[in-house]
Chain A
Amino acid sequence: MELFTSIFVGIIIAATPLVFAAIGEVVVERSGVLNLGVEGMIIIGALAGFAFTVETGSFSLGVIASMVAGAAMAFLFAVLTQSLMTNQVATGLALTMFGLGLSALLGQGYSGKSVPTFPKVDIPYLSDLPFIGDLFFKFDILVYLSIALVIGVLWFFEKTRTGLTVRAIGDNHHAAHSIGYSVKKYRYLTIMFGGACAGIGGAYLSLVLTPLWVENMSSGRGWIALALVVFGAWQPVRAMLGAYLFGGITILQLHSQGFGITIDPQLLSMLPYLATIVVLVLISRETVKSKMRSPACLGTPFYASQ
């Protein structure tokens, strides 16, 4: 039972950076923008969070800094793709390259520095519950924030007018424009929201998960987050479950090695990727039936001709 609990907790923690980054990108893509620069925003967020925590000694300031840094990177992307109408795929890739390089340059002084252990919350009564308490109520605050964020985004898209507008813009920006919505303004905002989320995902990596700073420490998580968005068919909850599934397979394959299962570990390491493909296939068949599909304007630039 104890092992079950710790595996469960391990999965949630390992998946949380992915949840943050993926949920941000869900919002971005719902508004019709494809930002492939998630990896670059994560790593900048990781550095900003770590550096500010080291300098100020405050986790809150660190987390806020990571959000600001991620949003700043996203702002750069927004200026290029929305105002200067650059190609989104290429701009996103450039953003990743730039972010990895810049973080390595700026972070030179921080590898080898340490931050204290990120505090876990202690909810009266709930955390003390046997089993259930260990399972659900002993995480750090950011885990709950990530889940709240998912629910918030779900509510935003389903229940609010603004959410509806964002979806409309993602599906047909010309129509949205013609009834008077500023496509550009909304997209600037969603892109920066996505950047802030990726940034906080990075901070989770450097402040909670590892917790240290080294260059390239994102190790491709930005790409996985992008995969999860499509995997979740642009639905926030499904994207989150996808992140847990991916994290779960990764953690379980490590555990299975510890138990001495004799499969080549490199073949085991392929599992999360192969599983993603399999689930993608299953989902896309269903998608055709249930008419869940990508935002129609995804990746296409918008120019308001007057």
Chain B
Amino acid sequence: MKRWRLLAWGIVALCAGFSLNISAQAADKFKVGFVYVGPVGDHGWSYQHHEGLKAVQKAFGDKVETTYAESVSEGPDAERVITQMAQKGADLIFATSFGYMNPVIKVAKRFPKVKFEHATGFKRAKNVSTYNVRFYEGRYAAGIVAGRMTKTNTLGYIASFPIPEVVMGINATYLGAKSVNPNIKLKIVWVSSWFDPGKETAAAKALRDQGVDVMFQHTDSAAPMKLAQQEGIYAIGQASDMHSFGPDAQLTSLIDSWNPYYIKRVKEAMEGTWKSEDVWGGINSGMLSFPEMNKVVPAEVAAEFKTTVDAISAGKFHPFTGPLKKQDGTPFLADGEVITDGVLASMNFYIEGVEGSLPK
């Protein structure tokens, strides 16, 4: 093992000469790093986080230096990329995908002075916060619009993988639609991929052919929206405002609005008031927003949507309120009982009325 060291030192010494001037730049700026799981051009999940980076840069101007790494796989590479960011002097690092959880915890141990923010995870430390958005709130509200707008009483849902985030989204959508339309059916197609525009299109086409006239998606490309536009049906956008892909098709969209959160956390970190927290922001946090409602939606439906959004936002209503049963009929929430965050965050069952079986 000593030999290894010697060899390594030799190479280090050899190369140190080449890179002397690299580390000596912009020492006084506050450095913020972002790690994305997809390319910034995906127009979905990673794109929205990158919008957050731009917002941070704009808000703090010269005082902040931002950097990012895109398409970082959630496997063996994540820990290295996060470490490299910390080594290059990042003061605050946003790791924006679930699979970065254990790598973040490991790196955070080695860099106690660097602060970490991990999106959608559940492990925290003194210098590791977690944050996520209550997307289900928006899905419930969008479900209401879809339930009112459908003529075939059939909604479609293009799903990626059966993780709790996706499952709770399906349940919330169904509950929202069901609340205004008791005859509603929700058809679910799993494409086993987060990003495959061709397959997402094919799935959307299959759903369309089976009578679906309002499409939901929990995958990252705009392909289903595009198909809805072509087929003359409706769809609910995902992650960003997909208006440009489906000007007639998009009823509303669930926009991941990371900007206010990122600006707030960077500010806190710069001022020294940053603390490790577990943030699960809903509509009222500003982390989830909606674009302007499609003109075809009747005013009373738009009003119904707004009432629901306001009620959820004010904490007066929770989409998962009893009485509710699981798909197999076992009671799950008593009348008036509200689901706990713990159960919600690890949800792996369908609500009664949702058809099909959840892949295990």
Q: Do A and B come from one complex?
A: yes
A residues at B contact (CB < 8 Å): 3, 6-7, 10, 14, 17, 104, 107-108, 111-112, 114, 117, 205, 209-212, 214-217, 219, 221, 250-251, 254-255, 257-260, 262, 264-266, 269
Give the Cβ gap from A295 to chain B, nearest Cβ, in Å: 30
Selected from B192, B195, B201, B205, the residue in CB contact (under 8 A) with A265 is B192
Question: What distance in Å separates the Cβ of B150 from its nearest Cβ neighbour in chain A?
Answer: 15
Chain A interface mostly helix, strand, loop or mixed? helix
- In the complex, what residue of chain B is closest to A4 when comparing beta carbons? B209
Which of B191, B198, B221, B222 is the one whose CB lies under 8 Å from A14? B198
Interchain CA distance A48-B192 in the complex, whole Å:
29
Q: How far is the CB of A298 from chain B (nearest CB, A)?
A: 29
Cβ of B56 within 8 Å of any chain A Cβ, yes or no, is no
Q: Quick check: B43 and A255 within 8 Å, CB to CB?
A: no
* Residues B190 and A210 in contact, CB atoms below 8 Å apart: no
A to B CB contacts below 8 Å, 10 in the list: A3-B209, A107-B41, A211-B226, A212-B223, A212-B245, A216-B195, A217-B221, A257-B189, A258-B156, A258-B212
Query: Is B187 located at the chain interface by the 8 A CB criterion?
Result: yes
Contact indicator A10/B202 (Cβ below 8 Å): yes
Q: Is the CB of B356 within 8 A of A251?
A: no
B167 to chain A, nearest CB (A): 13
Nearest CB of chain B from residue A12's CB, rounded to whole Å: 12
Give the B interface residue count (CB, 8 A): 39
Docked complex Cα distance between A249 and B201 (Å) = 15
- A-contact bits for B162-202, CB 8 A (1 contact / 0 none): 00000000000000000000000001111111011111011
Contact B197 A214 (CB under 8 A): yes
Known contacts A257-B187, A257-B188, then 11 further A-B pairs from the complex at CB < 8 Å, ordered by chain A residue: A17-B198, A112-B244, A205-B197, A214-B39, A214-B43, A214-B195, A219-B199, A250-B199, A254-B191, A254-B202, A265-B189
B110 at the interface (CB under 8 A from A): no
CA distance A107 to B208 in the complex (A): 30
Q: A3-B210, A251-B202 are in contact. Are A260 and B223 (CB under 8 A)?
A: no
Shortest CB-to-CB span from A39 to chain B, Å, is 13
In the bound assembly, the distance between CA atoms of A258 and B189 in angstroms comes to 6
